[in-house]
Structures are given as C-alpha cells and as structure tokens.
Structure 1
Amino acid sequence: MKISPLFISALMGAAVSATSGAEFPNPYPAAEPGVRLTPETSPAPSINGACVFGARPGSSVLFQVPVSGERPMKIQASGLPPGLKMTPGGLITGKAPAKRGEYKVTLEAANSLGKDSGEWVLKVGDELCLTPPMGWSSWYSFSEAVGQDNVLKTARLFVKLGLTNHGWNYINIDDCWQGVRGGKNGAIQPNKRFPDMKAMCSAIHAMGMKAGIYSTPWMGTYAGFIGGSAPNEKGDYTELTIPEKDRKQENQVFGGYPGVHRRKADRTGPVWFFDRDARQWAEWGFDYVKVDWNPNDVPTTERIRKALDASGRDIVLSLSNAAPYEQAEGLARQANLWRTTGDIEDHWGSVSRIGFSQERWQKHMRPGHWNDPDILQIGKLGKPNHANTTFVQTRLSPDEQYTHVTLWSLLSAPLIISCDLENIDSFTMGLLTNDEVIAVDQDPAARPARKAWHQGDFQVWTKELSDGSVAAGFFNTGGARGVLSVNLGELGLPDTYEVRDLWKRADQGEVKGKMSVELNSHGASMFRFIKKN
C-alpha cells in the first residue's frame, strides 16, 4: 500500500538482512536454476499493492485493501470520505465524492503476530487506473471454452490462494463470450455459457475484485464472434456469416480464426453499436474492457472512449493489438493501456524480442496510461483459439520466467496472468506473491525504465522509484552462464549504496564503484539501490 515500507526489513517476515556495513559480494552468485527465490509470505500483517486509486466524481468505488498475513485480522480505515465504507475484510465500496481532489485514508491491519499501517489516496478527477492493472485473462487459459463457471472458479481461486492479498484484482473475460444482439439496448448478449452476466459481476465484486470483458469496433472478433458494429440497423450479420453446420460453436458465426478476415468482417461496419454495448456492460457491472482490432487508430479510439464515458460507469479501456508507434500519444490520451506488440507466445524468442524492445515506448506512459507488452507467459497455459480443459507448463525456463516478470515490473507493465490456478505450483506462486517486485511495477510515480547499460549478451535496466531509491534488473540474454561486470557510475549510481535482492527479499550489503553479478543463461537478478547518507 505504501512503497518505502515494503522494503523495510522489519516488515519482511521471512526476509533476510545482511549485517550493516557488510560488503556486497563480487561477483554476486547466480541462483540455482529452477529454485523459488521468493520467501513464503509472512504470517504477520503487511499492507501491499497500490497506494492510489482513481475515480470520477460520483462514480462507484470498489477497492480491496491488499493485506497479507494470518487471519483472523482486524483491518481499519480512518479518513474515508462520506459515501464510502469498508467491510471488516477490508473491502472499500460506495460512491466517490462529487468534489474533485485527493482524499487521504489511513489504513491499519493487525493480528496476533503484529500490525502494519499505510496510506491510501483516492484521487477524484478524470483519471482511472493510476497504477498498472494486475489480474487474470481467460485468453491463454480457457480461451474458446471460457464460461461463467470457470471465470467464477478462477475468482474464487484468487481469494483462496491469497492473490488478492498481494494486489491482484482483475478477472477479465477475453473473446468468445458473445451471443446475439438483443435486450433493451440492442447490445450483444452473452452466449449460453454465461447465463447471468450481472450476477457474475456482482459475485466478483463481492470477492473484492473487478470484472473485465472483451470487444472490437469491427463487425467480427478475431475468434469469429460478433463485434461492436454491424452491416445494418437490425444488427443482423447473416450476409457475412458461415453456415451453422460449419461453426465450431453456435455463435462463432464467422468461423474460428482467421475466419473474420475471410468473411470481410475485420472492419468497422456502417452501423455503430459500441455505445449500446457499453451501456449494457455498465448495467452488468463491468469495470474494464479490452478492445481488439488492428491497426488501432485515434478517431476510433476517441469514439470508443466517448461511449465508455457515457455508459454511466468508470470503465478502464485497454487497446489491443500492436498499436502503431507513431500514434502512441494520440492513443494514450484516450486509453488507459495499449498493446505495444502483437500476441506474445510462451518462448524465449517472443518474450525477449518484445520485452527488450520496449524502451522507446516508456516516454508515452504516465499514471492512468500504460504501455502493455501483453500477458505474462508463466505457469500452466492453454492454447489460444482452442476450447481448453487441460493446461501444459509454459515453455519458458524458470530463469526466463524471472527475466519476464522482472522486466515487465521495471517497465510498469500491466501484470496480467492467464495460467491455470487450480494446479498452480510453488515456483509460480513465488513469481506472483513477491510484494517488493510488485511494488516496483506499482510505484505511483511511474517513472520510465531505461536501458542504462548494454554490452554483448548483458543488459542493465533501471527505474527511479518514488522514495528516491533505484530498482535495477541485470539480464543475460545469452545461451551460457556468465558474469556481468559494470561500473555503477555508468548506471547513474556514483555513490555508495545499500543493495537489496528483491526476489530474495534480502539485504546484500554495500557497494560502490564496480559491481559484478553472475547470471544464468536467459536469467535475471533484480536489485534495489538505496543511497547511503
């Protein structure tokens, strides 16, 4: 909830502190491949996650205070503005004040093992999504088999596994939920796998999370379902659809990918229905929409943003896919996040190509507006464009997964997973529950990461944090273990620093001048540098 205390040793639970004044080991040894570095979550209270929340005047507020630690636990808030209340479990709900401004709330959490406190700031104005969204998407998981039952099962697993205690709070349906147009709004209604969208959203909200949905301004989606425009006023797509006998699913009217291209439904139709769909999503209770088409363009994005703003609900806008770089600023004025790439895949070539090419995008992000290099390829995944009921381990090695999450966190990227949670292993849980790594991603200052140093297979990326410290990722993109040696002055770190290993959540001594780090092939280490007074 607050950035600096996340790094204070007294709050680290299982974290290890080096003796004050000890020298940083040179070279710093590489981790044993495949080992979980994140300590188990401490049973003592720790308030985690984002410390700011954006809402428009008078709009609905839903925020689950992310607190890890053993239950029972007493969670309290003082200074909540009128119109908001908090449940004993730490769920803040109600209406934002009509008056614009910042409202500071003091939070306290206590159990038999200790207590923690922090500040939460409600910013009432025009901006939403003041830190990168963290959550789950159905696309690399259930994909074409997504339905209300497995979405709610995922939400319940978020709570059971304690992910909500670390700031994970979006449950997002991707493509394949759509049925036919109808209802009082003439909007897209869900297919038979979603019998009650409103009840589903309410259930997700009651668990302290937010709900996301998917659409496109095109007449058809990539997976072959109907989109946010139509060829006629009736919303009848028959002239473009394939015969029912040729469909994998009843409502997959354009056929599986790339059917949308073959049927010429990959374009915005003459009749715009997106505003009607937005009203329907607001009535159901959705908080987030991923809008997918290519190329993204500013006029269409403005039209989409206008429809969402008129829906009567605060809805985060996520653009997909492969936003044209030359239109980044125009898109960033309207969207809360935008895809900087095509679809990511779970192999080193895809993750490294995307991740290490993001520096030029960094200048376009700011609180409420985020570059999106796509979904984290960690854990057990399904196959996109398939009706998945089973999942297989990502093709990324453990070291490549550390690189993946380290780099995405430095980039202030959305942290969206799509893995199977029912059979999640300890290693993957370690990637998802390290509050110090998450704090780098969620840092409210959102200062750009930069590639501070590059030599051969080695790179160092740095990011200034709001408390004055610097987070850094040391990366080895090569095929063999090696030692990265760098003069810290070249990283903009000319003084003496206390160094903390963020994955291990452990202090590692002091360093000045040269620093050497041994790294596994495709591996990473992540440090925080605190200047000595």
Structure 2
Amino acid sequence: MALTPPMGWNSYNCYGSAVHEDEVKANADYVAQNLKQYGWQYIVVDFLWDFDNPPGSNIGNPFQKRLEDGSYIPWLAMDQFGRLTPNVNKFPSAFGGNGFKPLADYVHSLGLRFGIHVMRGIPRQAVWAKSPIKGTNGITADMVADTNSKCPWMNHMYGLDMTRPGAQEYLNSILNLYASWGVDFIKVDDLSRPYSTAEVEGYRKAIDQCGRAIVFSTSPGATPVDKADNLKRNANMWRMADDFWDEWKAVLQMFNYGQQWEGIGGPGHWPDCDMIQIGKLSKRGPVGQERYSRLTLDEEYSHMTFWTIFRSPLILGGNLPENREQELKLFTNDEVLAVNQHGTDPRQLYKNDNAMVWYSHVPNSKAIYVALFNLDEQQEALSVDFASLGLKGKVAVRDLWEKRDVGTFKKGYKKVINRHGATLLKLTLLN
C-alpha cells in the first residue's frame, strides 16, 4: 500500500468535527471533476463522525459528560459490539445500520477512495455498558480497556491493554466493520504522542486480517524519530509534528522536522507534514474564523514546494468547492506533482538563516529535482551550484512551476525569489 505518497482531501481543516455528508460529497465531486486526473484520490472524513453536530454548529473538540450512574452524554453512535458508527443526523445514509457503506460507495463510484479518522482505543461508554467484543466468548469491553490510558484532549476513549485476551479481537472487529463499509484509509489519532507501540502493531495486525487493502496513517506528532523502524514496519504514513496551520512560522518549523526525518521515507511508509493549508479553511472551526489561507501566495508556493520535494503525503485541507484559480493552479501542476510521486531520496543540501535548498533524484535518469527557498524578509537572488550536486558539464534547467525551459548553464543557476517564496527546478545533465 501507498507505494507513492497518498494524495487526497481531509475534512478537518475546514469543518472540524462538524462535517456533514453533503459536504463530503461536494468535495468528492470537486476532486473527481478537477483533481483526480492529477493523482488526487482519497476522500477522508475526519474526527467525531459518531458525534451529533447539528447543521451549522461550530464544535471543535467536544467532551462527554459522565453521569452519576457512570453513563455518558452525549451518547455516541455505537453498535452492540462497542464499535462507533456514523451519526445519522450528519450522515443520513448511515440510517438503518448502513454505516459508511453508502457514502463509500458514492466516493468509489467517482473513481476515488474513501477514508475515516478514528481515535485510538475503545469507547468509554462501551466500557460502562460492558459491550461484548465480537469474535470472543464472553469477553466484554471493560475487560480489555486500560482505564489509565487516556487521550489528554478528548475524553471519549480508553486505551487498549494489548496483553489482555480480547484486545486484538476488538481491533480486528472494528477493522472488519470498516472493511465491510469499503474503507480504504484510516487515520488513527492519539497513537504517536506518546508512541503506543503495542496499539500501533495491533492496528497493523487488524488491517492485515480484514481482507481489504487499507492505508494506515498515525496521528498526531511529533512522532519520535527513534520509532522510525517500528513505523516503517507497521504504518504507511505518520505525522512528524502536531497540527499544522496557515502561519509562516509553522512552515519554517516543518522545514526543521523534515531535516530530522530525511532519508527515512520510501515506498509504503511516509513521514507526513500534515494537511495542506491552502484554500478556504475553518468554515466551522476548529482554529480561528472562516478564511482563505493566511499564507501569502509566495508562502503557499513554499508550502507546496516543500511538501512536494520532501515527498510528504499530499492531503488537502481546504473546502475545495470554494477554490479559486490560484488554488487550482497549485494543485494541478503535473510536473510538480511528479516530484512528489516519483522523486527519490530527498535531502537537504544546505540551510541558513536566509535560504534553504533541497533536492531529489529523477528516477532512471541523471537529472535532479532542486527546490530553492527564500527564508529572508526581502526578495533575494538564490543560486544552486551544480558541482555540489555532482553535475559537471552543461546542464539544462527547467522551471517546473512555470513549466518552461530556462536555458543551459555550466556552473550554476541563480534566480530572484520573492520574500518567503520558492522555486522548483529540474536539472538535466546534457553530456
């Protein structure tokens, strides 16, 4: 799975917990009509699809309240086996026990793939209800929960004690349910900070036994770099950092995270810079007022260029039907997207206070992709020295964002780049 970095859309940055079925379909339609031909394919419903958000509500991270009898309100949509199901007020097609299958079928009918966000562990309300675990003989939710393992920012779940009989069976049961719905992608939250090794491995086993190919994404970060080997064996993508938002300082910080993880990504396993903060954000939360990205256009190019050269998964976070021409242009450059999907072994060449250069290799070729970033507060002329990349002789330079051949050069290439801007080049040795 995920032999190249996954590309798609996620509902979180524009709708928080409050996305509704018609909005998911509208974004899927947009991808099918405008982006699918460029490789974009995943449509992912982010968190709290089991929670009731009335139309127009703005709830970000709702908590449950525990009553005197130990039960919880609001009660999350859940089946008899302690498995959360879509709230039918937000996802009407789930009515009658259909789950996400009708919505997944709709996404699949467009030639796209369907994904969901889930929280690590088992619902606290299932523990209170002593829900039976499917596939076991008499084991109930309270017998497998680790009640000391709690998410610090949402009180819906307990962790699983993977040493207990029935814990793996619970994960198997939810993945079997997701597979029956037609899920192609799961983003499992609260796995990486702290890193929950046993549960990461448990989700991997559950996916492997469910009979469906499902991409496994872990969240959030910062994921410990020393867990890279475990991640490469078990996950397809993992978050390098906490939630990324539309601020230049966050882009700069992501450059640092990228350097920490360089050389680790590859087919089937990708360090993840988080969603792309371009387009209409925060329509109903979760951070700030409804807006188009606060990044300048030059900063958006730097944002897209780094995610591309680093080979991060490309998951769009804005509400796509509200895209303007500038967003569409950033998402539909086939030469740029080829760098993300096919460039090999991305590395940082150098970085200082004013500039940064990354490069990767064009497969089956001596050509090299190079990204130049102006980190300064003013326009600067940035250069790349060909010898530093092992290129000796005449080199043809192509500007990938502009889709034009710049010319032939011998020692290096220099370009004036706007404040906080970037350029992406292809350098081809001619002799």
Report the TM-score, using the length of structure 1 for normalisation. Answer: 0.66
Cα 1:518–1:409 shift into 2, 3 Å: same
Q: Aligned pair in 2 of structure 1 residues 266, 395: CA closer, same or farther (>3 Å)?
A: farther
Q: Which residue of 2 aligns with 1:191?
A: 87
1:437-465: CA deviation from partner (whole Å, max 9, x where unpaired): 0000010xx52211113344111111012
**Aligned 8 A contact 2:240 2:257 in 1:** no
Q: Which runs of 4+ in 1 moved over 6 A?
A: 235-238
Task: Find the partner of 1:279 among 176, 184, 190.
Answer: 176
Q: Distance in 1 between matches of 2:368 and 2:427?
A: 5
1:357 paired residue number: 257
Q: Relative to 1, partners in 2 of residues 1:231 and 1:409: Cα closer, same or farther, differing over 3 Å?
A: farther
| Letter matched to residue 39 of structure 2 | G
- Distance, in Å, in 2 between the alignment partners of 1:422 and 1:384 is 15
- Letter matched to residue 157 of structure 1: Y
> Is the helix fraction higher in 1 or 2?
2
State how far apart, in whole Å, the 2-side matches of 1:368 and 1:325 are. Answer: 17
CA contact (8 A) 1:219 1:231 kept: no
Work out the CA distance in 1 between the residues paired with 2:428 and 2:380: 26
Identical columns (%): 32
Provide the TM-score with structure 2 as the length reference: 0.81
CA distance in 2: counterparts of 1:384 and 1:476, whole angstroms: 33
CA deviation string 1:399-439 (max 9, x = no partner)? 01100111111111100001112221001100000000000
Q: CA deviation at 1:136?
A: 0.2
Cα distance 1:493–1:298, how it changes in 2: closer, same or farther (>3 A)? farther
Say which of 360, 365, 377 aligns to 1:479: 377
Contact 1:296 1:320 in 2 (8 A): no
* Structure 1: runs of 5+ lacking an equivalent: 1-127, 221-225, 239-256
Contact 1:478 1:521 in 2 (8 A): yes
What letter corresponds to residue 330 of structure 1 in structure 2? N
- The residue type paired with residue 36 of structure 2 is T
CA separation in 1, counterparts of 2:358 and 2:286? 36
In structure 2, relative to structure 1, the CA distance for the partners of 1:496 and 1:205 (3 Å cut) is: same
Q: Distance in 1 between matches of 2:82 and 2:430?
A: 63
Alignment of 1:289 with 2:186, yes or no, is yes
Distance 1:384 1:218 in 2: 27
Q: 320, 327, 340: which one pairs with 1:441?
A: 340
1:508 aligns with 2:406: yes
Partner Cα separation in structure 1 for residue 3 and residue 197 of structure 2: 22
Choose from 207, 213, 217 the match for 1:318.
217
Q: After superposition, where does 1:380-399 map in structure 2 within 5 Å?
A: 380-382=280-282, 386=286, 391-399=290-298
Question: Which amino acid is 1:215 matched to?
Answer: V
User: C-alpha separation between the residues in 1 aligned to 2:153 and 2:333?
Assistant: 41
Cα 1:194–1:470 change in 2 (3 A) is: same
CA apart distance, 1:299: 2.0
Deviation of 1:364 (Å): 1.8
User: In structure 1, what is the Cα distance between the partners aligned to 2:264 and 2:356?
Assistant: 22
The answer to whether the aligner puts 1:379 opposite 2:276 as a matched pair is no
Paired amino acid for 2:321 = E
1:157·1:421 contact (CA, 8 Å) conserved in 2?
A: yes
Alignment partners' CA distance in 2, 1:471 and 1:230: 52
- Relative distance call for 1:307 and 1:384 in structure 2 (3 A) is farther
Partner residue of 2:429?
531
Question: 1 or 2 for the larger relative contact order (CA 8 Å, sep ≥6)?
Answer: 1
Aligned to 2:355: 458
Question: 1:182/1:265 Cα in 2 relative to 1: closer, same or farther (>3 Å)?
Answer: closer
Aligned to 2:38: 166
| Cα distance in structure 2, aligned partners of 1:418 and 1:175 | 13
Residue 363 of structure 1: CA displacement?
A: 2.0
Corresponding residue SS for 2:263: helix
Contact 1:496 1:531 in 2 (8 A): yes
CA distance in 1, matches of 2:156, 2:184: 31
Structure 2: distance between partners of 1:317 and 1:283: 17
The 8 Å contact of residues 359 and 449 in structure 1, kept in 2 or not, is answered as: no
Q: 1:514 to 1:306 in 2, by over 3 A?
A: same
Structural mapping, 1:315-354, within 5 Å: 315-322=214-221, 323-354=223-254
TM alignment of 1:13-162, pairs within 5 A: 128-160=1-33, 162=34
Give, in whole Å, the separation in 2 of the partners of 1:417 and 1:531. Answer: 34
Equivalent residues of 1:498, 1:511 under 8 A apart: yes
Alignment check: 8 A CA contact 2:241 2:257 kept: no
- AA aligned to 1:201 is A
Q: Is the contact between residue 187 and residue 218 of structure 2 (CA under 8 Å) also seen in structure 1?
A: yes
Q: List per-residue Cα deviations over 1:261-316 (Å, max 9, x = no partner).
A: xx594644677332221111100000000001122233221111111111121111
